Amino acid sequence: MKPTYFITGTDTGVGKTVLTTLLANFLRARGVKVAALKPICSGNRDDAVLLYDALNGALTLDEINPWHFRAAIAPALAAKLEKKSVTRAQLLTHIRATQKNFDVTLVEGAGGLLSPLGKDFNSRDLITDLRATPIVVAQNKLGVVNHILLTLEALPKNLRAKTKVVLMSPPKPDAATKSNAKLLEQFLAPEKIFALPWLGKKFQLKAALKNPQVRQTLDDVLTG
């Protein structure tokens, strides 16, 4: 089975798109045929545009993000405001059709793991259906361990065992930033926990990938 990674998070705005973009470009640089999808979003399409740029034309914007709604609220509610709906089957059909043409598929969710994406389904349901490897993205700050553990608890046991956690460093570390990874080791295998440094106020893909620490972390996330 071709590898599929589902990038979810403890919340919205935690760095899912940054990580997905980095992984997509890192794989492309290695000659891997990779797809990066954000199948559904609400608000603007900035995240999907970043993925489009990272893929350098491998997919169109509408292939990356076929369902988008104007209101910056949970996609299920945003769709309802426009008198539209998206089904779990529709998303799965699109993702699976894309998978056939690529060696690795990255799928980015919207919001946190349980944020409603459409009628009666969320990112957890898609992860289960796709048998994807979950990657949980979280801000490395005070309180995040609780958020990560709640997210892990919400995953089925078979998926929880292969879940990877990526801590995104904030611009100003707090008292917990240096100790969160170590604390998480009490609940998750150390080789499943990763941390990325602060990548600047305005994310620049090429600049980030020049950082040896970033490249090594991405390699570890994909192979660990």
Tens digit of pLDDT for each residue in 106-127? 999 999 999 999 989 999 999 9
Locate 94 and state its tokens: 């699109």
CA 221 to chain centre: 12
**pLDDT tens, residue by residue, 86-99:** 999 999 999 999 99
Q: Is the pTM of this model over 0.85?
A: yes
Q: What percent of the chain has pLDDT over 90?
A: 95
Compute how many other C-beta atoms are within 10 angstroms of the C-beta atom of residue 118. 23
pLDDT score of 79: 96
Q: What confidence score (pLDDT) does residue 224 get?
A: 79
Helix (H), strand (E) at residue 222: helix 212-223
* DSSP letter string, 156-185: -HHHHTT-EEEEEPPSS--TTTTTHHHHHT
What DSSP designation does 190 have?
G
Question: What pLDDT, on a 0 to 100 scale, did the predictor assign at position 121?
Answer: 96
Average pLDDT over residues 127-139: 97
> What's the pLDDT score for residue 38?
98
CB 126 within 8 A of CB 107: yes
Q: Give me the half-sphere count of Cα atoms (radius 13 Å) on the Cβ side of residue 218.
A: 21
Q: Which domain holds residue 212?
A: 4-223
Q: What percent of the chain has pLDDT over 70?
A: 100
Residue 65 pLDDT class (50, 70, 90 cuts): very high
The strand order across the sheet containing 164-168 reads 34-37, 104-108, 4-9, 133-139, 164-168, 193-196
CATH at 135: 3.40.50.300
Whether the pLDDT of residue 1 is over 90: the answer is no
The shares of helix, strand and coil residues in the chain, as percent rounded to the nearest 5, are 40, 20, 40
Structural domains of the chain, count: 1
> How does pLDDT run across 143-162, given as a tens digit for each residue?
999 999 999 999 999 999 99
Average pLDDT over residues 13-33: 96
27-58 pLDDT, tens digit each: 999 999 999 999 999 999 999 999 999 999 99
CB 27 within 8 A of CB 177: no
Q: Token digits for 10?
A: 């403890």
- On whether the CB atoms of residues 125 and 92 are closer than 8 A, the answer is no
Residue 202 has pLDDT above 90, yes or no: no
The answer to whether the CB of 39 falls within 8 A of the CB of 91 is yes
Which residues have a catalytic role annotated? 38
